[in-house]
Chains A and B, each alone.
Chain A
Amino acid sequence: MKADETTDRRSFLRRIGRWLGGIAMAGSAGYLCFDSRSRGTVWQIDPYTCVACGNCATHCVLQESAVKCVHAYAVCGYCRICFGFFGPEPAGITEAAENQLCPTGAINRKYVEDPYYQYSIDEALCNGCGKCVEGCNTFGNGSLFLQVRHDRCLNCNECAIAAVCPSGAFKRIPAGRPYLFKEP
């Protein structure tokens, strides 16, 4: 680096600083990119760790949480008396609102064949509170579970629900396989 007449000490130091900075940046960016095997991550709930505490419904930065209940039909027992659907003391085995556990009435119960009933989630109504999940986990097969729905999730860099998740069920998982469904 030859100092010509216009180069004073400060600009010389600056030039050295610039080169060092550039090398450091290129080096670390290169190192990290070399390491970057994935196409990024998304937030998801591990259904086997989740305790259905209810924080998902209240802590998402979206007004209506990005977490919804998902039903793994293949795990479901298709019970006539579903503890994810009926409240603790139902007046009768009917779909009447007062019998339901879900505070928003987001679970649809449909007769399939004797004695089996299909339960499906109306995601537009589900608020992700996890009440049905707790009921199904405690008494049933655990086929109802909470998942981050990626058509809604903003994928915040730090998920506000993950920050308050009591069981550490919120994880960053590869964006290529963005769901953790329960399977039989």
Chain B
Amino acid sequence: MWPIVFTALFAAALSLFPRTATAVERFPPPEFESGYEIPQPTAPEPRARPYDYLDTAVLMAALAAAAWFVLKMRSRKAVFVLMVLCLLYLGFWRGGCVCPVGAAQNVILAVFDAEYVASWIVILFFFAPLAACLFFGRVFCSSVCPLGAVQDLVVFKPVQVPAWLESPLRLTAYLYLGTTVLMAATGSAFVICRYDPFVALFRLSGSINILVMAGCLLVMGIFIGRPYCRFLCPYGVILRNVSRVSKWHVTITPQDCVKCRLCEDSCPFGAIRPPAKATPESSRPMLKRRLAVSMAAIPVLAAAGGWAGYKASGLLARVHPTTRLAERVFLEDTGKAEGTTDASDAFRGTGEEAETLYAEAADIGALFGRGSILLGAFMGLVAAVKLAQALVGPGNDNYIADRASCLACGRCFQYCPVDRK
């Protein structure tokens, strides 16, 4: 009976206090007479720490082996085996975390937020594949990245995406990269990790939406080779542009190309560029006109993108928790929203002024305004460059692997009839 009275009394007395109780000593800790010793709570060590060095070693070794297999041995089989091993270790055993794709965000946050310090392993995971790419092309994509590997395993019935569609679709990946930078730099969210489709699959746990998305991407991947890598992956965008200047790169044929066209359909990722028709002298003025058009398009598209970004900044800012909280508190205070949320309760529990919160949210809003304009302008610029490429792109004499799009998987090697010495 009396516990109920107890409860009622306490409830009446203490309901005035905020829910976030600081350690108040309502009942002083007793002094024991029976020799009872007060135990200490246990504190198990972070379990990932011993893996740091192993992960580093695996990454380095895999990158080196991949470069060797792709450029020296020219063996698709070896690449495939390495890819599966990396999928098993980095994907299923280590749960896909730490990964270079997501590490990009830590690096961005470390650059923009002086208080955040990225650990050495994250920095290394971000830069090592890029450095490898600078020398050997996208060997990371082909054989090390677990996200790529899981898609590579399901490429059964590849359909060629027409080039005129592939290039504009890739704008999605640039948009993803730009948004990632904006969200990480403002400390709002790590969007790559939040929407990473395959990590949930590796761990066989996680949100059901993400697992469904992974399933969709894999089903799509049966027909469209590696959809995430080609049209979404933000790290892939960085890699493809580094790969353009790589020192060595995949060549379809070890010797001279005999233009037998056997390799033409061997690439499921649309990375083989057929020889372009030689431009006749008479079309020179036309090319010049096209060049002028694409140059003029740069400021126009950049300005249009900037404007669109400015318009979207309010929406983007809502990703930041403080903006959402300020909005909620404002709605509650002005009577436009009924009830409270956990977040608004927690805020009121701290006893801070709503005005302080509004000011903070306004600062974040201004930051997003500037950032979104930059993001939009960047997208406009990318679109302009793509336009220029489409209008006055360079031609090539032989069948070559496109430096940017080639994932160095080595499938084309076995289609080439030219023996290597």
Asked if A83 and B10 sit within 8 Å, CB to CB, the answer is: yes
The answer to whether A71 has its CB under 8 Å from any CB of chain B is yes
Shortest CB-to-CB span from A36 to chain B, Å, is 5
A171–B216 alpha-carbon span in the complex (Å): 33
B29 touches A138 (CB 8 A): no
- List residues of chain B with CB within 8 A of the CB of A113: 32-34, 36
Task: Tell me, yes or no, whether B95 is within 8 Å of chain A by CB.
Answer: yes
* B residues in contact with A62, CB < 8 Å: 203, 205
Q: Is A128 interfacial (CB-CB < 8 Å)?
A: no
Contact yes or no, B193 A157, CB < 8 A: yes
Say yes or no: B20 contacts A40, CB within 8 Å: no
Q: Is A178 an interface residue (CB 8 A)?
A: yes
Determine the main DSSP class of A at the interface with B.
loop
Could you say which residues of chain B place their CB within 8 Å of the CB of A172? 116
Task: Report B201-248 residues with CB < 8 Å from chain A CB.
Answer: 203, 205-207, 242, 244-247
Residues of A within 8 A of B203 (CB): 61-62, 154
Known contacts A74-B38, A167-B20; A33 and B29 CB within 8 A of each other: no
- Inter-chain CA distance A152–B207, complex, in Å, is 18
Contact B97 A79 (CB under 8 A): no
- Whether A4 sits at the interface, judged by CB under 8 Å, is no
- By the criterion CB–CB under 8 Å, are A33 and B123 in contact? yes
Chain A residues with CB under 8 Å of B349's CB are 51, 167
B247 vs chain A, min Cβ distance (A): 6
Complex Cα distance, B95 from A106, in Å, reads 29
A138 & B342 in contact (Cβ 8 Å cutoff): no
The 8 Å CB contact of A139, one of B14, B103, B130, is B14
Contact present for A154 and B95 (CB under 8 Å): yes
- Please tell me if the beta carbons of A167 and B346 are within 8 angstroms of each other in the complex: yes
Using a Cβ cutoff of 8 Å, how many contacts connect chains A and B? 217
Query: In the bound complex, do residue A156 and residue B193 qualify as a contact, i.e. CB atoms below 8 Å apart?
Result: yes
A96 on interface, CB distance cutoff 8 Å: no
Q: Is the interface of B mostly helix, strand, loop or mixed?
A: loop
Chain A interface residue number, banded: 35 or more
Tell me which of A14, A77, A158, A163 contacts B26 (CB under 8 A): A77
Q: Which chain B positions have C-beta within 8 A of A51?
A: 19-20, 342, 345-346, 349
Is A142 interfacial (CB 8 A cutoff)?
yes
Closest Cβ neighbor of B48 among chain A residues: A155
* Given the contacts A36-B120, A166-B345, A175-B46, A112 and B20 also touching, CB distance less than 8 Å: no
CA distance A32 to B106 in the complex (A): 11
Give the chain B neighbours of A140 by CB distance below 8 A: 26-27
Q: Which residues of B contact A53 (CB under 8 A)?
A: 342, 346
Is B342 a contact of A166 with CB atoms below 8 Å? yes
> For A22, what are the chain B residues with a Cβ–Cβ distance below 8 Å?
131, 134
B25 at the interface (CB under 8 A from A): yes
Report A-chain residues with C-beta under 8 Å of the C-beta of B350: 49, 167
Contacts of A35 in B (CB 8 A): 110, 117
Q: Given A17-B245, A113-B32, A175-B46, answer yes or no on A25-B130 (Cβ-Cβ < 8 Å).
A: yes
- Chain A residues in the interface with B (C-beta under 8 A): 10, 14-15, 17-18, 21-22, 25, 28-29, 32-33, 35-42, 48-51, 53, 55, 61-63, 70-79, 81, 83, 86, 88-90, 93, 112-113, 116, 118, 120, 134, 137-143, 149-158, 160, 163, 166-168, 172, 175, 178-179, 181-182, 184
Since A118-B36, A172-B116 are in contact, a sample of 10 more A-B pairs with Cβ atoms closer than 8 Å, ordered by chain A residue number, is A28-B107, A36-B120, A71-B41, A73-B40, A89-B7, A138-B17, A155-B97, A157-B97, A158-B194, A181-B41
Among all A-B residue pairs, the 8 with the closest Cβ atoms: A77-B27, A40-B119, A167-B346, A17-B245, A166-B342, A166-B343, A158-B190, A151-B44
